[in-house]
Chain A
Amino acid sequence: MPSKQAQGIAPAASNVGQARRHLSDRAIQNLFIWPTLLLLIAVNLFPLLYSLYLSFTNFLAVQNKPPGWVGLANFATILNSPEMWRNFATTGRYALMSVGMQTLIGFGLAMLVRRKFFGSGLITTLILVPMMISPVVVGMFWKMIYNPNFGFFNFLLGAGDAGKGVDMLASKFFGQSTPGLALIAVAIVDVWMWSPFVMLLVLSGLNAIPEYLYEAAAIDRASPWFQFRRITLPQVAPLLLIAVLFRTIEAFKSFDLVMGMTGGGPGDQTELIAVNLYRQAFLGTFKTGFSSALAYIILIIIIAASNMYIKYLNQIKGEA
């Protein structure tokens, strides 16, 4: 039993017994990486390539016909449709609003809880709770909170009278129709849910800043603002950027929150591009080919944006 031998003898003396079991670094590297890569390739690459192929066809999932090749027609339809451009614009506004607010609030929260005080660990964990709830559940009960008749939101705004106050999800402000309110309502929920995520990442960055930087600054009598501007911000920037990257990707993909709360309405005010995608792919028509093309356009946008982020991130890291 070679293993028993290796365990029994002190490591330095067991070289002979180990020779047979000793794996080269090369072998370990392959052993460690390939299971992950193979799984990723098996479950991701086939769907990726298959939907790329489908994006050039007029395939409908509910039909029993083989896919018919239509070339670039799907892409042309999408790029020429003003409705799609409007959805893209909505998605952009939504991403800007929600990711921007998340970054600000998340950063603020992290600055608040960074120094230890009595109960700070508990408070930090409590702030993380919104992140742990299923998005579909979040959508459901925020819909309840926004309900103009029995929701708390309307009530807290002081409009006790049922139905007359603010109906966020229908974009109605005291009876007045106010376009954009529904999108803000959804963004508020997204911000509520994901600010803690940004906070967690920023907090990690803050904890990693060496204390001597602040000590040096204090000796030089640098103002708190100067310390923030020249020490805190640059040191946290890489992690902040990663948080923003993950949230931006998610904002372009998000559909379950909106589906649960507004279904894209009223009109197409909250019709994010991913919601439209879901509609094309599953509701009613099952336009598989068309929706694959749309998905690829979204994917290209996401990859382009991520690449920009990562380039910028490496640049910051290089300077630091």
Chain B
Amino acid sequence: MARFEERGPRSPIVQPIRVDKVHPRARAQRRLIAIASLLMAIIMLLPVFVMGISAFKTRADVMSSPPKILFKPTLEGFMLLFTERAVVSQSRQEELQEEAAAGSLSLFERLALEAGMEITGPSAYVFRLWNSVIIAGISTVASVVLGLFAAYAFSRFKVPGKNDLMFFILSTRMLPAVVVTIPLFLMYRQLGLHDRHLGMIILYTVFNLSFSVWLLKGFIDEIPKEYEEAALVDGYTRLQAFFRIVLPQAASGIAATTVFCLIFAWNEYAFALMLTSQRARTAPPSIATMMGRGGIEWSAIAAGSLGFLIPVVIVTFALRKYLLRGITFGAIRG
């Protein structure tokens, strides 16, 4: 520290010394930082914005050149996403037009009619979206609960071969998914788990477990042991101490882990593509294969992506306080 004394102050102290008197330069700096981060957020969200507006464009508007920013919004993309349609004949079309004039057609039916089609029923996407909710929801809860127990044990007890076990748990995430799939496919077919909700739930739970154990161990490591020891001395059992002392303290860790597990299980594509076909197929593989007449149906894809993104965003926003509080993997205080 002698270096500073020799050379003297290089710059004035800009940290506020009195709360009521903030140095003008510090205030300007803070405002600059706020503006810069707002700009960064806008840049990061630009592609999402493009996706968002594409969801409300007509087929022609999506593919116009140069790309349109101002356009007449339509729900055509959502109609293409949620319904099955059939091309209708001239006479039927006139019939439908009369019905439309009488006002007895729903919004989607009118939109379909404009494209010369008639709605025949809801699309498979609706069903698959429901599958996604079930599979992602249950597997997220399962991996957080199991991960929490394991993380507590690894954090508090002298487990023999702890470091090796932790590395084993991490290493289950290293094998490229493509290769695990073939043996998994064979195994699942034997066990009757192929294309079943249970099979996908188990798979996603296991794939999130490694992450959840590592993440939660970091959080539990940071909770002082003394709290539980005091509780144990007071006559709590270990389980009581775990549920009443550790669990509330680990709330932010649990929330952060939930968000990460949900994001993975909700968005997973490769396994869903290869291990499901009809019954348990989730939404991501069907968004990617949204083809219509004459190629890729961009507005339907954008609509599907937008709708699919919203639930995760809501959960993340609801839990953001915890998420931003800190994820440390136990790296700060070993």
Contacts and interface: CB of A to CB of B under 8 A. Distances in A.
A12 B234 CA distance: 6
Interface in B30-81: 30-31, 33-34, 36-38, 40-41, 44-45, 47-48, 50-51, 54, 62-67
A141 B302 contact: yes
B328 A208 contact: yes
Contacts of B48: 129-130, 133
Interface residues of B, number: 108
Interface string A115-144: 101111101111111111111110011101
Give the interface size class of chain A: 35 or more
Contact of A133 (B159, B305, B317): B305
B328 A132 contact: no
Given A130-B47, A192-B47, A222-B4, A299 B175 contact: yes
Interface string B231-251: 000111111101000000000
B151 to A, nearest CB: 9
Contacts of B87: none
A117 B147 contact: no
A200 B323 contact: yes
Nearest to A49: B183
B150 interface: yes
A151 interface: yes
Contact of A121 (B9, B320, B327): B320
B31 to A, nearest CB: 8
Contacts, number: 304
Given A11-B240, A29-B159, A239-B329, A137 B169 contact: no
Interface stretch (B97-105, B107-115, B120-128, B202-210): B202-210
A214 B62 CA distance: 52
A227 B256 CA distance: 30
B153 A109 contact: no
Nearest to B147: A36
B170 interface: yes
Interface in A285-317: 288, 291-292, 295, 298-299, 302-303, 306, 310, 313, 317
Contacts of B317: 125
A302 to B, nearest CB: 5
Given A141-B305, A151-B67, A299-B176, A37 B40 contact: no
Given A134-B284, A238-B331, A37 B165 contact: yes
Residue among A33, A145, A151, A299 with most chain B CB within 10 A: A33
Residue among A109, A132, A220 with most chain B CB within 10 A: A132
Contacts of A89: none
Interface string B1-15: 100100001110101
Contacts of B153: 28-29, 32-33
Given A12-B235, A123-B41, A137 B305 contact: yes
B321 A121 contact: yes
A148 B193 CA distance: 44
B69 to A, nearest CB: 9
B167 interface: yes
B284 A117 contact: no
Contacts of B45: 126, 129
A246 B254 CA distance: 20
Contact of A115 (B1, B30, B149, B165): B30
A221 interface: yes
A273 to B, nearest CB: 9
B328 A11 contact: no
B161 to A, nearest CB: 11
A51 interface: yes
Contacts of A12: 234-235
A315 B174 CA distance: 23
A126 B44 contact: yes
Contacts of A228: none
A7 B36 CA distance: 55
Given A160-B66, A223-B11, A48 B175 contact: yes
B182 A33 contact: no
Nearest to A294: B179
Contacts of A201: 327, 329
27 contacts: A12-B235, A14-B235, A29-B157, A36-B213, A40-B210, A43-B203, A47-B183, A48-B175, A48-B183, A50-B183, A109-B37, A109-B40, A112-B36, A112-B37, A125-B316, A131-B263, A132-B267, A133-B309, A134-B284, A136-B287, A137-B287, A137-B288, A155-B67, A200-B323, A222-B4, A255-B176, A302-B174
Interface of B: 1, 4, 9-11, 13, 15, 30-31, 33-34, 36-38, 40-41, 44-45, 47-48, 50-51, 54, 62-67, 146-147, 149-150, 152-154, 157, 159, 165, 167-184, 186-187, 202-203, 205-206, 209-210, 213, 234-240, 242, 263, 266-270, 274, 284-285, 287-288, 298, 301-302, 304-305, 308-309, 312-313, 316-317, 320-321, 323-329, 331-332, 334
Interface of A: 11-15, 18, 21-23, 25, 28-29, 31-33, 35-37, 39-40, 43-44, 46-48, 50-51, 54, 61, 109, 112-113, 115, 117-121, 123-137, 140-142, 144-145, 149-152, 155, 160, 162, 192, 195-196, 200-201, 203-205, 207-208, 214, 218, 220-223, 235, 238-239, 241-242, 249, 252-253, 255-256, 260, 274, 277-278, 281-282, 288, 291-292, 295, 298-299, 302-303, 306, 310, 313, 317
